[in-house]
């Protein structure tokens, strides 16, 4: 969809902070599927936690991202996604070797301009929903940075600046759409 904009990239790179800032400016936003799944799994049996069963986690993230897209159709204007179907499909393909990225990406398109948060060691932190280390986050970023352009998206790497500057930069890039 032309109105569906994805913020992807490095875990711990500031995606959620950026999405929160966009919401604060009145834009429609969709929170990251992964964090919602981790919270649900930690409250339940924990079988689909990414550090327990990455494939099960990624399958849940794909389903949630597809459901999020359906819900977002009712939202007005730009809709900003903290990750999306492609992020989850890249994780599943990494975990299992299944060739799921291309078919899922074809079926669930986003705006052609995708924004990636690069690794940013100065702000990266581990928390109860992010147990991997920065090296893992950087490897994830490399996979996503390769996947998005291979799927025909125009990738824009967000500058390492304050959140308000990131929002302005991003909106400027979209205004040139």
Report field, pTM of the whole predicted structure over 0.85: yes
- With a cut of 70, list the residues of the chain below it in pLDDT: 1, 120-134, 177
CB atoms within 10 A of CB 96: 13
CA distances to 73, 92, 117 from 176, rounded to whole Å, are 23, 33, 20
Q: What is the CATH number of the domain that holds 144?
A: 3.40.50.300
Query: What is the CA 124 to chain-centroid distance, rounded?
Result: 16
Distance CA 95, CA 106 (A): 21
Cβ atoms 70, 77 nearer than 8 A: no
Rounded Cα gap, residues 25 and 20, in angstroms:
9
70-101 pLDDT, tens digit each: 999 999 999 999 999 999 999 999 999 999 99
> Based on the structure, what is the number of domains in the chain?
1
Range of the domain at 50: 4-175
Give the three-class secondary structure for 88.
Answer: helix
């Amino acid at each position: 969809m032309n109105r569906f904009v994805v913020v992807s990239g490095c875990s711990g790179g500031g995606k959620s902070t950026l999405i929160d800032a966009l919401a604060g400016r009145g834009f429609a936003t969709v929170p990251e599927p992964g964090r919602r799944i981790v919270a649900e799994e930690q409250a339940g049996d924990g079988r689909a936690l990414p550090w327990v069963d990455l494939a099960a986690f990624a399958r849940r993230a794909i389903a949630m991202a597809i459901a999020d897209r359906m819900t977002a159709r009712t939202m007005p204007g730009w809709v900003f996604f903290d990750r999306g179907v492609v992020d989850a499909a890249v994780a599943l393909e990494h975990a299992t070797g299944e060739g799921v990225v291309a078919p899922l990406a074809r079926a669930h398109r986003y705006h052609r301009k995708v924004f990636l948060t690069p690794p940013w060691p100065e702000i990266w932190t581990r928390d109860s929903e992010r147990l991997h280390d920065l090296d893992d986050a950087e490897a994830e970023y490399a996979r996503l940075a390769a996947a998005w352009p291979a799927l025909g998206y125009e990738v824009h790497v967000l500058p390492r600046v304050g959140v308000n500057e990131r929002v302005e930069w991003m909106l400027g890039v979209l205004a040139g759409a």
